[in-house]
Structure 1
Amino acid sequence: MGLITGLCTFLYHLPQIYKWLLKPYYITSLLMTVAFLVVRKAPGLCEHLATQREDGNSCDFDWREVEILMFLSAIVMMKNRRAITLEQHMGNVFLFSKVANVMLFFRLDIRLGILYLALCVAFVMTCKPPLYMGPEYIKYFSDKTMDEELQRDSRVTWIVEFYANWSSDCQSFAPIFADLSLKYNCPGLRFGKVDVGRYGEVSERYRVSTSPLTKQLPSLVLFQEGREVMRRPMVDNKGRAVSWTFSEENIIREFNLNELFQKSKKLNKSHGLNEEEQNSPQPEEGSNELPSETNNPEQPTESKKDQ
């Protein structure tokens, strides 16, 4: 049953996986993930490698290598229990596979270990995960525009993501937040993002840590009437973030998005009707002429990314 479920999941995500294969980051990550397997099994090369097997077969894994690979599988399974998107699952596989490969190559030959470690360092420094470029309805703030926009209209509720481009968790969360913005955005409920890795003053003002070891990225903050109402993950008295899973279901439930969306739509309709009544011509006293009907023009749409 588990094998069938895994196969169905793979087939479902096959179009997305195919797109990944066209990107250098994923191609290189995949090659580095299977590097030790290729070296150990490659004909003409594996015969010259050292081995601790009793039968002396250097083209197969010895007991210590099997132990390391099994430990790797257990770690990946544990980490992937908290993963939400397919990108997070694959990111965990790539990360811990590279760590295991470093250990395996150093154990096999210190020269191969140094070479593989150098390749890993070069990969981290030169090759970054592709950023999400799909559809979204999000306003991007700077340090100068954020407070001004939040205070512009007290009737507008904002859900703002504090993120950093170097954070893998933020990159994995990007398509989820974009999908929520497409489903729930309306003039009374809007979505915004601010790069606290770029704007340090914003991170200090809103108490969002940008440390490489921080658990506060990404952070979602709900603003009503220009004031912070709630945030996830929550931060305790010692400044430590309380663990929280950034799934679409959790966000909809915790932030009451369905209720906020319905209230925002009602507010906008009533506001539009009031404006229409004020702008419509009134009949003169004693006249039998009825006021002409006016059509409420549609709200102008916001650009996808307004820096």
Structure 2
Amino acid sequence: MALFTDIKQLAHPYHLINLMMSLSFLITRYMPGLCELVFPAAQCGELSMWESEILFFMLVIIMFRSRKTGSRNMIAYISVFNMYAKVCNVLLWFSCDPLYGIIYIILAIIHFLVVGEPVYQGPEKVVYFQGKVLDEELQRDKHCIWLITFFTAWSPACSSLAPIFAKLSAEYSLDNLRFGKVDVGRYPEAAKHYHINDSSFSLQLPTISIFREGKEVERRPCLNAQAKFQKFYFTEDNIKAAFDLNNLYLECKKTLDAKKEKKEHIKSE
């Protein structure tokens, strides 16, 4: 079922065009007829030593980043591949002809602006905060427990987490158990305030934190005994287990029911 869902997502024009752009240099170099239109005939059907080294280095980076990503689904891996493959394609096209490199960058920008990445369309109960607004909300209502995701729009792992977090918010949200998100790419001051590294090589994207009485009590990924971030796979079951969402929901529900009974008792008197 999960594989079918991933394949269905890959059929979206955004991912199809992304894959074509990621493989554009190799396809052009090895496709008869097309190669002769772009490259000298002597270069068709083979890569130079420098081009091979660039591609090999790209594969090493992709494997390293894929191991560090917080998700195990196919979409996340392909998104990581596309991100680094397109960077390598810029280098490869520029090395052949600066004009090709400029055209490739323009096409990549058009793709990004015109064909947006598919987003989760299902139900969600998520509040999107702007920088310092989160801290103000946490201090305003200390009786509410918050699960907050710190993310960036460009991170494949964050994109993979989005539908999972939205689904959990729709399932577990209560008046005193709420879900929120902060884009630390847009609001770097929030990343600094909550001690989250928002660089492209960060192992903290995404990060989910739970706040009680306005204070953070737990987060994933977290530091281990050696002060290194432990790998955390952001699957639905892992998030439920890590934050004990079932018991947390029952606790908050019980609190709400007790308040409701108290109000009804006061009215009856």
- Provide the TM-score with structure 1 as the length reference: 0.68
Q: 1:203 aligns with which of 186, 191, 194?
A: 191
Q: Which has the higher contact order (CA 8 A, sep 6+)?
A: 2
Match of 1:40 in 2: 29
Contact kept? 2:75, 2:160, Cα under 8 Å: yes
Match of 1:132 in 2: 119
5+ residue gaps, structure 2, are none
Deviation of the 1:200 alpha carbon: 3.7
CA distance in 2, matches of 1:74, 1:144: 38
1:158 and 2:146 are equivalent in the alignment: yes
CA distance in 1, matches of 2:157, 2:4: 25
- Please list the CA deviations of residues 47-99 of structure 1 after superposition, one character each: whole Å capped at 9, or x if unmatched: 65325xxxxxx5x4579789987887787566556543443122123234435
Match of 1:147 in 2: 135
- Please list the CA deviations of residues 122-175 of structure 1 after superposition, one character each: whole Å capped at 9, or x if unmatched: 455552652635231111223453233223443321111122334343233211
Q: Secondary structure at the match of 1:177?
A: helix
Contact kept? 1:163, 1:195, Cα under 8 Å: yes
Match of 1:17 in 2: 10
Match of 1:91 in 2: 79
Match of 1:50 in 2: 42
Say which structure is richer in helix.
2
Amino acid at match of 2:41: L
Deviation of the 1:43 alpha carbon: 3.5
Amino acid at match of 2:211: F
Q: Secondary structure at the match of 1:151?
A: helix
CA distance in 2, matches of 1:63, 1:152: 62
Provide closer, same or farther for how the CA distance between residues 68 and 49 of structure 1 changes in structure 2, counting only shifts above 3 A: farther
CA distance in 1, matches of 2:127, 2:208: 14
CA distance in 1, matches of 2:262, 2:63: 56
Q: Secondary structure at the match of 1:246?
A: coil
Contact kept? 1:36, 1:101, Cα under 8 Å: yes
Q: Superposed, which structure 2 residues align to 1:40-79 within 5 Å? A: 40-46=29-35, 49-51=41-43, 58=44, 60=45
Contact kept? 1:131, 1:171, Cα under 8 Å: no
Amino acid at match of 1:118: I
The structure with the largest alpha-carbon Rg is 1
Contact kept? 2:142, 2:212, Cα under 8 Å: yes
Match of 1:4 in 2: none
CA distance in 1, matches of 2:175, 2:260: 11
CA distance in 1, matches of 2:118, 2:77: 16
Percent identity, aligned pairs only, is 35
The CA RMSD over aligned residues, in Å, is: 3.7
Tell me how many residue pairs correspond in the alignment.
Answer: 259
Q: Secondary structure at the match of 1:193?
A: strand
- Provide the TM-score with structure 2 as the length reference: 0.76
CA distance in 2, matches of 1:223, 1:178: 18
Q: Superposed, which structure 2 residues align to 1:1-307 within 5 Å? A: 11-18=4-11, 20-21=12-13, 23=14, 26-46=15-35, 49-51=41-43, 58=44, 60=45, 80=66, 82=69, 83-98=71-86, 101=89, 110-112=95-97, 114-122=98-106, 125=109, 127=112, 130=117, 132-134=119-121, 135-235=123-223, 241-280=229-268, 282=269
Q: Secondary structure at the match of 1:159?
A: strand
Provide closer, same or farther for how the CA distance between residues 191 and 40 of structure 1 changes in structure 2, counting only shifts above 3 A: same
Deviation of the 1:189 alpha carbon: 1.5
- Please list the CA deviations of residues 14-72 of structure 1 after superposition, one character each: whole Å capped at 9, or x if unmatched: 43333x12x4xx34323212323432343434465325xxxxxx5x4579789987887
5+ residue gaps, structure 1, are 1-7, 52-57, 283-307
Contact kept? 2:144, 2:177, Cα under 8 Å: yes
Contact kept? 2:184, 2:198, Cα under 8 Å: yes
Provide closer, same or farther for how the CA distance between residues 73 and 217 of structure 1 changes in structure 2, counting only shifts above 3 A: closer
